[in-house]
Chains A and B, each alone.
Chain A
Amino acid sequence: MQPIAAKIQLQKILISDGAWGTFLQEKGLAVGECPESWNLNRPDDVLAIAKSYIDAGADMIETNSFGANAFKLTPYGLADKVYELNKAAAQISRKAAGDNHMVLGSIGPTGKMLMMGDITPEQLYNAFRDQAIGLSDGGADALVVETMSDIDEAVLAVKACKENTQREVICTMTFEKTGEDAYHTMMGVTPEQMTEELVKAGASIIGTNCGNGMAQMIGIVKAIRLVNNTIPILVHANAGAPIYRDGKTVFPETPEQMASYVCAVIDAGANIIGGCCGTTPAHISLMVETAKKCRV
């Protein structure tokens, strides 16, 4: 298949998928249950999520593997299943995507902190490498390292993907607004810093995911574009910041609200747009329709 970055060179805006974690919870994933265990135990439910995004019109879908690294699987007693769970995750999404849609193998943070001496860079690298190989063997077209807040962890993950697979590598970090036109990850990384370091590490697409909704992505994309006007940018936005209402978590942005910012995010310089926590096939479907009408 043609690399995603090459498709973008043809001036095309691509649409990605929406939430997986919150979708699994809706399908009955219990608190304390490992989301990735469903790849082996309930593959049909996972496949149904993947399919629903293809049906919504997404050009690409992710995999149910965000937390499938050795560190996060350990508390579930699944640390020896890294390869299997990731391979199965990619196979399921591949099945839904067929030959005409792309599969992005999802790789999330380990939850360990390098700077506190929790783990060594080598241990981190190895964990990401094992995950990347499983996803690649399962048929992912690209790997997406996402929701990162520490630049050193992100760089190690990108390198582990680059050096051990033939896949395109995407990396996105999660920013908060910290002032007028200022954005930082929880670990203090700015979009500018991210751009420089990730490009150097070998990422071919970079961007931002999660966070506080679609509107805030405009400023983050602009900040990336200020320092780099060629790298393809991916945005996976939450349906707003989660709030607690009547005993339940809700993500407040409706498909209409999110779609209303899509053209502005594209104008700012984004090339691929999709959703993160709280977004549904309805959100994605409206993004697809809206993006067609934006002037590029």
Chain B
Amino acid sequence: MNNDELLLKLLECVEYGKVNKDAPYPPQMKGQDGADELTRQALAQGIKPADILDNALIKAMEKVGQKYAEKKIFVPQMLVAAKAMNTAMEHLKPYFSSGEVRKKGKFIIGTVSGDLHDIGKNLVAMIVEGAGWEVIDLGVDVGSQKFIQSIANHNGAVVGLSALLTTTMVNMKSIVMDIKAKYPGTRLIIGGAPVNESFSAEIGADGYASDPQGAVSYLNSLVA
């Protein structure tokens, strides 16, 4: 395969969630090389890590995010795609840490206090990571203290808050206030099914996005 063919094939593996050769999913790609094998092959063939990231992985996740927003695919397809992407990313990690490919910045994300929903937050984390950001995932039921601690450790990081319950979205308000009081320069974006643009403005957050693609656009706009 030439470089373009290989990248296209890798894009397809991530888009449809083909993790590696042995993976049974998706059935129509059974026995074929997956994201794991193709990423190794691409590197061996001399394709630049940045090219692999931009022209295969990120493009694939864009397509996935788009299809999800259009309700053409559902959570399982999105999760396997993210898994295939993470598998490919493992091979690229050494180049990121060596500085050959620069991360765009740091993104701290967590589901707020009292809330245990993490499917949406995980998707956002995976796709933001796929878009070239370093992601620090604090998990679920995260309060002000833990966010502030993490910001102290990761200077200049952008912070994302997720909430899925109308009873916990109110906790976003105090978390935003606490963070802004301690680190006024911190940029905060919020998301989750019950929140919206106007709620974001009301509580003093800097951004809102309804899906992972929106989170990426917001983050990229900060470093453009």
Contact of B80 (CB < 8 Å), options: A32, A75, A115, A248: A115
Contact of B116 (CB < 8 Å), options: A25, A75, A179, A184: A75
Are A186 and B75 in contact, CB atoms less than 8 angstroms apart?
yes
Residue of A nearest to B166 (CB): A249
The complex places the Cα of A242 from the Cα of B170 at a distance, in Å, of: 14
The complex places the Cα of A178 from the Cα of B73 at a distance, in Å, of: 10
B70: min CB distance to chain A, Å: 10
Are B114 and A32 in contact, CB atoms less than 8 angstroms apart?
yes
Instruction: Enumerate chain B residues within 8 angstroms of A3, measured Cβ to Cβ.
Output: none
Are B79 and A242 in contact, CB atoms less than 8 angstroms apart?
no
Residue of B nearest to A189 (CB): B74
Contact of A115 (CB < 8 Å), options: B79, B166, B199: B79
Chain A interface size range: 20 to 34
The complex places the Cα of A184 from the Cα of B77 at a distance, in Å, of: 14
Given A111-B116, A178-B71, A188-B73, A31 and B167 contact (CB-CB distance below 8 Å): yes
Are A188 and B75 in contact, CB atoms less than 8 angstroms apart?
yes
Given A243-B166, A249-B167, A188 and B74 contact (CB-CB distance below 8 Å): yes
Q: How many cross-chain pairs have Cβ atoms below 8 Å apart between A and B? A: 47
Instruction: Enumerate chain B residues within 8 angstroms of A188, measured Cβ to Cβ.
Output: 73-77
Instruction: Enumerate chain B residues within 8 angstroms of A115, measured Cβ to Cβ.
Output: 76, 79-80
The complex places the Cα of A116 from the Cα of B199 at a distance, in Å, of: 33
The complex places the Cα of A247 from the Cα of B169 at a distance, in Å, of: 9
Are A184 and B71 in contact, CB atoms less than 8 angstroms apart?
yes
Q: Does B194 contact A (CB under 8 A)?
A: yes
B144: min CB distance to chain A, Å: 15
The complex places the Cα of A243 from the Cα of B167 at a distance, in Å, of: 10
Q: Does B186 contact A (CB under 8 A)?
A: no
Are B194 and A244 in contact, CB atoms less than 8 angstroms apart?
yes
Are B71 and A187 in contact, CB atoms less than 8 angstroms apart?
no
A102: min CB distance to chain B, Å: 31
Are A187 and B76 in contact, CB atoms less than 8 angstroms apart?
yes
Given A184-B71, A247-B170, A242 and B194 contact (CB-CB distance below 8 Å): yes
Residue of A nearest to B117 (CB): A111
Are B169 and A244 in contact, CB atoms less than 8 angstroms apart?
yes
Are B166 and A116 in contact, CB atoms less than 8 angstroms apart?
no
Given A31-B168, A244-B166, A116 and B79 contact (CB-CB distance below 8 Å): yes
Instruction: Enumerate chain B residues within 8 angstroms of A243, measured Cβ to Cβ.
Output: 166, 194
The complex places the Cα of A25 from the Cα of B166 at a distance, in Å, of: 12
B86: min CB distance to chain A, Å: 12
The complex places the Cα of A116 from the Cα of B113 at a distance, in Å, of: 24
* Chain A 113-125 interface 0/1 with B at a Cβ cutoff of 8 Å (1 = within): 1011000000000
Given A111-B116, A244-B199, A25 and B74 contact (CB-CB distance below 8 Å): no
Residue of B nearest to A176 (CB): B71
**8 A Cβ contacts from A89-142 to B:** 111, 113, 115-116
Instruction: Enumerate chain A residues within 8 angstroms of B83, measured Cβ to Cβ.
Output: 116
The complex places the Cα of A242 from the Cα of B169 at a distance, in Å, of: 12
Residue of A nearest to B195 (CB): A244
* Chain A 244-285 interface 0/1 with B at a Cβ cutoff of 8 Å (1 = within): 100111000000000000000000000000000000000000
The complex places the Cα of A248 from the Cα of B167 at a distance, in Å, of: 7
Are A184 and B74 in contact, CB atoms less than 8 angstroms apart?
yes
Instruction: Enumerate chain A residues within 8 angstroms of B77, measured Cβ to Cβ.
Output: 188
Add 6 more A-B contacts to A25-B167, A31-B167, A184-B74 (CB < 8 A). A113-B119, A116-B79, A187-B74, A244-B169, A244-B170, A244-B194
Interface residues of B (CB under 8 A from A): 71, 73-77, 79-80, 83, 113-114, 116, 119, 141, 165-171, 194, 199
| Cross-chain pairs A/B with CB under 8 angstroms, 26 sampled | A25-B167, A31-B114, A31-B168, A32-B113, A32-B114, A32-B141, A75-B116, A111-B116, A113-B119, A115-B80, A116-B79, A116-B83, A178-B71, A179-B71, A184-B71, A184-B74, A186-B74, A187-B75, A187-B76, A188-B75, A188-B77, A242-B166, A243-B194, A244-B194, A244-B199, A249-B165
**Which 4 pairs from chain A and chain B are nearest by CB?**
A188-B74, A249-B166, A31-B114, A178-B71
